Structure 1
Amino acid sequence: MKKPELSIVFPCHNEEANLPLLVEAIVEALTPLGIEYEVIITDDRSSDGSWQVLKKLAQQHPRVIGQRMRQNRGQSAASWAGMKISRGRYIVTMDADLQNDPMDLPKFIQALQQADCVCGSRVASRAEGDNIIRILSSRIANWVRNRLSDEQISDAGCGYRAFRRECIENLKFFNGMHRFLPTLFKIEGYSVIEIPIATNPRIHGSTHYGVWNRLFASFYDLLAVRWMKSRMFSYEIEERTDSALDDTAPR
């Protein structure tokens, strides 16, 4: 297989029934584009048959790469483990439960021509079909995240994102950081935009997130990101004795 242009990275925990449907949907979405891609799924030590299903899928589909964590380490660790072995020029992260629609992938690829990172926003689609408690908890969580991190992202909790490989090359990953990738990219000087995406109902299994962890799980991580932003500084050099350095100095 040729070197992929696109790497699609999934953390996975107890999604055995969704995985075959997920791979099928990705193939359907990307085949018409004629793009080289790879699908990297990291099993975060599932207690169901996810790993056995994943091994079969990797045998059936050359583009599918599966790996299994030695211990359950959470969504950030599983996401980072997938990104570390990815080879694509562009990286997409999304959930493995099919609530993020693979048919939106072409929209992300096109939007990457306008920015370094493209974030999905479920605001419009959630307003159409979600229950009121989930809508309110999501809006409150977004408000808290944006207030503490000084951002204006409409759906900070959405993990459906696409970005250029260079965005992550200098990042130091920490637990919970998957929630704040757009902010961390901005700190590094990369551009971030949002696009509206569809939200599908979960077909199999149950969500790992409820109202309380939507509101409070990321609070301490937010404080860390806020501290990082407050410690940023910039400077300008007025002149140098060696003018040859002007072409190599950061701007």
Structure 2
Amino acid sequence: MNQTPPEISLVVPCYNEEGNLQALADAITAALDPLSISYEVVITDDASTDSSWTLLKKIAATDPRFRIQRFKDNGGESAASWAGMKAARGRYIITLDADLQNDPRDVPKFLQALDQYDCVCGTRVATRGKGDNFVRIASSHIANWVRNKLSNENISDAGCTYRAFRRECLTNIKFFKGAHRFLPTLIKMEGFQVTEIPVTNNPRFSGQSHYGVWNRLFKSFYDLLAVRWMKKRMIRYEIVEKLN
């Protein structure tokens, strides 16, 4: 196997996505192969109870660019995302969901924006009506408003985990359960430049969403308060001169 680190690592958390995985793999290769850029796909199976792991092993056996790992126990989206990011070897890391609502054909737009920014976040504000129902859209709007209000942020779609960033953005990040929702803020706190770009929001290819109003707002409220506390208490300094 080629030991040279790839330019891009796509990081995908997976839980009970047996109906989406082959289509996801096909979509990724169709979108990225023409770019003539080296990449890998790191998929973390969050102890799925369906046939996801069996399918992932077949995909990885066919294409060594797909690197897979499986949790012993269900750890949640943050844990699966963080495990994938830790395993990623690319210069740039792109996180996306396994359900194909995030379109791999948007990857070139992320790479272009990374020429000027350290972290690029996808926003579905203009496209949500094409892929989600009213309840999901409404709960997302409410959650975004609350998060921005309490954390003094201006991220228009914090619930969109389709993001790209330089791997050094993660160097000092302290990840925790629910942190995937606040990754742009955590990266900003480390002094990196963050921006947003519009992304496609496809209808879910197969299966049901594992996250609803409870996950988007109420369950993440304590996490939001933790981030708010961290922003206020973070130590900041700049050394202007030193000897020896």
Checking the alignment, whether the CA contact within 8 Å between 1:29 and 1:106 is kept in structure 2 is: no
- Within the candidate set 136, 139, 156, 1:137 is matched to 139
- Partner residue of 2:171? 169
Structure 2: unaligned runs, 5 residues or longer: none
For this pair of structures, how many residues does the alignment match?
242
Checking the alignment, whether the CA contact within 8 Å between 2:44 and 2:83 is kept in structure 1 is: yes
- Partner residue of 1:20? 22
Superposition TM-score, scaled by structure 1 size: 0.92
Structure 1: unaligned runs, 5 residues or longer: 246-251
Q: CA deviation at 1:212?
A: 2.7
Is 1:3 aligned to 2:5, yes or no? Answer: yes
Q: CA deviation at 1:236?
A: 5.7
The one-letter amino acid paired with 2:181 is R
Checking the alignment, whether the CA contact within 8 Å between 2:130 and 2:201 is kept in structure 1 is: no
Question: 1:8 and 1:237, CA in 2 relative to 1: closer, same or farther beyond 3 A?
Answer: closer
Checking the alignment, whether the CA contact within 8 Å between 2:101 and 2:131 is kept in structure 1 is: no
Alignment deviations for residues 51-75 of structure 1 (CA, whole Å, 9 cap, x no partner) = 0000000000110011100110001
- Partner residue of 2:78? 76
- Rounded to whole Å, the distance in 1 between the matches of 2:172 and 2:237 is 20
Alignment deviations for residues 115-136 of structure 1 (CA, whole Å, 9 cap, x no partner) = 0000000000014554332222
- Rounded to whole Å, the distance in 1 between the matches of 2:231 and 2:71 is 32
Paired-residue identity, %? 66
Checking the alignment, whether the CA contact within 8 Å between 2:6 and 2:89 is kept in structure 1 is: yes
- Rounded to whole Å, the distance in 2 between the matches of 1:235 and 1:174 is 24
Report the aligned-residue RMSD. Answer: 1.5
Q: CA deviation at 1:235?
A: 4.2
Q: CA deviation at 1:99?
A: 0.6
- Rounded to whole Å, the distance in 2 between the matches of 1:160 and 1:37 is 17
- Partner residue of 1:244? 243
Question: Which has more radius of gyration?
Answer: 1
Mean CA deviation greater in 123-132 or 113-122: 123-132
The one-letter amino acid paired with 2:225 is L
Checking the alignment, whether the CA contact within 8 Å between 1:90 and 1:163 is kept in structure 2 is: yes
